[in-house]
């Protein structure tokens, strides 16, 4: 019986890069992801090297390909929350430090939304932990669907607490984005009979925006200020967005 082999076609952009590299008589290594018809992702590590004759003329190339799908799956598990599929707290710490350094270098504004599901313990008490898990997954999906830009990172920080880290042009746009996130959770219309502020699940949001063009703050100060804003949102009645305001930031 003839064995059927699945052929994976290299993306055009990668093919052009390979051709340009081989013309320079250099080698190229890189990872490529392919998505099958059933949605399953396949990853390959590709090494491409030119074959030269005694006169340094290219007469061919060698392509070595390794299936690294299992390795990629393990890497994904290490940074992903198993319930919601969002990035986990461990990866949040890594990304926050990286994005702060990038914002310092590029002198851009970096923002963090700290998000807490209102009266979630009462929700679990009323509907049970299975319903609670389902609600958290629905909230996570809404947060992910609200965050469309390449610079948006969405995390489950623990329990019913989430975070969105993003680059933004100004504070007004950051606040509008936070309001949109809050409104999209309300649109889920998940019943919450024991909430003191609504008949449905709502969230409280603490928002921090730092302009790294003229302000300096490390990851600990960044997280603390966003968390303080969340505390204020909850202390002020919940189901609202509260922005941290500090005219002079210098946290190290």
The per-residue DSSP string of 136-159 comes to HHHHHHHHHHH--STT-EEEEEET
Residue 190, C-beta contacts closer than 8 angstroms, at least 6 positions apart: 135, 138, 200, 201
Q: Which of 31, 94, 160, 215 is catalytic?
A: 160
Farthest CA pair distance, the chain: 81
Residue 231, C-beta contacts closer than 8 angstroms, at least 6 positions apart: 206
Q: Is position 160 annotated as part of the catalytic site?
A: yes
CA atoms of 175 and 52, how far apart (whole Å): 59
181 closest CA partner among 135, 116, 124, 237: 116
17 closest CA partner among 9, 26, 8: 26
Q: Catalytic residue numbers?
A: 160
């Amino acid at each position: 019986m003839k064995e059927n082999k699945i052929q994976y076609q290299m993306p055009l952009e990668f093919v052009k890069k390979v051709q340009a590299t081989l013309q320079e008589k250099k080698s190229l290594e890189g990872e490529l992801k392919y998505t099958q018809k059933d949605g399953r992702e396949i990853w390959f590590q590709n090494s491409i090297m030119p074959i030269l004759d005694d006169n340094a003329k290219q007469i061919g190339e060698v392509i070595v390909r390794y299936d690294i799908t299992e390795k990629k799956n393990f890497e994904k598990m290490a940074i992903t929350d198993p319930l919601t599929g969002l990035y986990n707290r461990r990866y949040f710490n890594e990304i926050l430090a990286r994005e702060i350094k990038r914002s310092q270098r590029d002198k851009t504004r970096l923002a963090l939304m700290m998000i807490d599901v209102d009266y979630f313990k009462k929700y679990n008490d009323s509907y049970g932990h299975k319903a609670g898990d389902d609600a958290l997954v629905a909230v996570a999906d809404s947060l992910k669907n609200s965050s469309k830009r390449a610079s948006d990172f969405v995390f489950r920080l623990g329990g019913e607490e989430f975070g969105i880290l993003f680059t933004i042009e100004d504070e007004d746009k950051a606040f509008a984005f936070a309001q949109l996130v809050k409104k999209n959770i309300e649109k889920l219309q998940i019943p919450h009979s024991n909430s003191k502020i609504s008949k449905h699940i709502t969230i409280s949001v603490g928002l921090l925006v730092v302009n790294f063009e003229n302000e300096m703050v490390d990851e600990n100060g960044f997280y603390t200020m966003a968390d303080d804003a969340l505390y204020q949102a909850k202390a002020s009645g919940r189901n609202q967005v509260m922005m941290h305001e500090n005219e002079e930031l210098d946290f190290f």
